[in-house]
Chains A and B, each alone.
Chain A
C-alpha cells in the first residue's frame, strides 16, 4: 500500500481530531485578521446608521439556541448599534425556543450600552436602556406567517401584551405604533424558513425595508432576493456578523471566531486536495497495472 492509497483510506476520525486541534489552538492564541466588508453588509449598516434618532427598528430573532454561535454575534452588534444611535427597537421572535435568548440578549446588550465607548472615533456616553421606552419585547407566537400578516394590520392582534405581560397600549414606546407603517425597517435574523414568510408575506405585502441576517448554510440561497431588491442586505453567517462588527468598530464574538475559520478552512482545503490527489494517483496506478 503506497502513500496515495493510505491517503484514500484515512479514517475520518483523524480529520475530526485535527480539525478540533486546529480550532482550539487558533481560538486560544489571540491575533487579529483583516475583515473585508462586502456591499450587502454595508448596506444594512448604512440603513441603520442613517436613521434619525427615535425611529423604530423591528428586530426579529427567529432562531433556536442551536444556532446561537452563528447568529447571536450579529444580533448583539446590530442591537448595540441601534441603541447607541438612540433608535427604538421592537424585539420579536417567531421561534419557539427564542424568548429566553432574546431576553438574555437584551440584558447583555443593555450591560454593554451602559458603558462609555468610542466607536469609529465617535464617543458614545453610556446610558440605561429602559423597557417600554427604548425597547419592547413582544415575545413569541406560533404560526409565523399569520403573525407576520397580523402585525401588518396591528401589532396588538397577535400580541395584545408584551413578553412580560404588559398590555401594548400601556407601553409608552408603542403609543401611536400600529403596524409596519410606523417602523423604519425590519431586520430578520433567522435560521429557518421564517425568512421566506418575512420576504413574501411581510415585505411583499407591506413593502417595508427588510434586511436579513442568516446562517451560512442559507445565505447563498437568498442572494436572488438581494439582486431583485426585495431585501436591502444580507449578513451571511459568522462572516457577515464579523463584517458588521468591523463596520461598527465593535469587535466581538464574530471577529474572534473568524480567525478560527481561516485555519479551519485551510485545513479542510488541505484535506480536499489530499483526497483528490490520492484519488487521481491511485486511479493512475490502477490504469498502469491494467496495462
Chain B
C-alpha cells in the first residue's frame, strides 16, 4: 500500500469520527439512543459517498461498500426466508412442540402429507452439497421448473398474448364518426375527441403492424415491405426514447434521494 493511501485512509477515519461526534451532539436530547443513531447516520453517509466515489474511479471504499451490501443482503434474505416461511408458515402446520419452541400459534390439526412434501423436497435440494447423493437434488429442481413453466405458460398466454392482441383490435373509423363535414361544422370537444381517438387508433394499428413487419425475416425488406419495416424501426426508436427519458428521470430521482439524505439527515443543512 502506498503512503498516500495511508494518508487518505487516516483522513477518512478522522472525518468519520468527527462526523459521529458532531452528529451525536446535534441529536443529543432529540432521541434516546443518540450515540447509536449518530453512528448509523454517519455510517450511512459514509457508504453513500463510498458508492458515489466510483464515479471518479474504482477504489477500496467502493469495494468495501459493495461487498458489505452483497454479504448483508445474502444473510438478511436467508434469515427472512427462514423466519417468515419455515417458522411462520410451515412449523405451525407440522408440529405443536416446534410451534411452542418458536413461539408461533399452532394451526395444524390432523396429519396431512401435503405439508411434509415441501420439507422432503427442501431437504433433497440441500443434498446438492453432497457428491454422492447430489443427484437427488434434481427432483425438487424438476418440480420447480415444471411448476414455473406451467404457471408462466398460462400467464403469458392470457395477459401478454391474448389480451394484448385483442387490445389492438381498435375501431379505425371511430364509433360515432359522422365525417369531416360534421367535424368542421361542429368544432366541439366531442368531435375533436372522436378525431383524436381515431388518430390514436391508427397510430396503434400502424405501429403494431409495421413493428411486426420489422421482425418478419422471411422476406427481403425492399419496396413497400421495406418502407413499412422502416416505419417499424421508427416506432421502436420512439419506444426506446420514451424508456430512456423515464430512465434518466429514475436515476435523477435516486440521486435526489441521496442528496436529501446527505443534506437533511446527515448534515442537517435543509429542513
A residues sitting closer than 8 Å to B (CB atoms) are 13, 16, 19-20, 23-24, 27-28, 66-70, 96-97, 99, 139-142, 145, 158, 160-161, 165, 167, 196-197, 199-201, 203-204, 215-221, 224-225, 227-230, 236-239, 253, 256-257, 260-261, 264-265, 268
Contacts and interface: CB of A to CB of B under 8 A. Distances in A.
A217 B256 contact: no
A75 B10 CA distance: 41
Interface of B: 55-56, 73, 76-77, 80-81, 84-85, 88-89, 92, 104-105, 107, 151, 155-156, 158-160, 163-164, 166-167, 204, 239, 242-243, 246-250, 252-260, 263, 269-270
A127 B63 CA distance: 47
Contacts of A13: 55-56
Given A67-B254, A219-B246, A224-B167, 12 more contacts: A19-B255, A23-B255, A23-B259, A24-B259, A96-B76, A158-B89, A200-B159, A215-B250, A217-B243, A225-B159, A257-B253, A264-B248
A220 B247 CA distance: 9
Given A70-B253, A227-B204, A200 B155 contact: yes
B167 A70 contact: no
A167 to B, nearest CB: 6
24 contacts: A27-B259, A27-B260, A28-B263, A70-B253, A96-B77, A96-B81, A97-B76, A139-B84, A141-B89, A160-B89, A160-B105, A167-B105, A167-B107, A227-B167, A228-B167, A229-B167, A230-B163, A237-B246, A238-B252, A257-B260, A260-B252, A260-B256, A261-B249, A265-B249
Contacts of A229: 167
B239 A237 contact: no
A56 B250 CA distance: 30
A238 B256 CA distance: 10
A237 B164 contact: no
A142 B85 contact: yes
A140 B256 contact: no
B5 to A, nearest CB: 20
A237 B158 contact: no
A265 B84 contact: no
Contacts of A139: 84, 88
B69 to A, nearest CB: 9
Contacts of B249: 216, 237-239, 261, 265
Contacts of B89: 141, 158, 160
A226 B72 CA distance: 37
A141 B84 contact: yes
B164 A216 contact: no
A216 B250 contact: yes
Nearest to B167: A228
A68 B249 CA distance: 14
Contacts of B73: 97
A259 B263 CA distance: 16
A234 B203 CA distance: 21
A229 B269 CA distance: 46
B253 A221 contact: no
Nearest to A260: B256
Contacts of A221: 243
A257 B239 CA distance: 25
A267 to B, nearest CB: 10
A204 B204 contact: no
Contacts of B164: 224, 228
* Pairs A-B, 7 closest by C-beta atoms: A69-B257, A228-B167, A216-B250, A200-B155, A216-B246, A238-B253, A216-B249
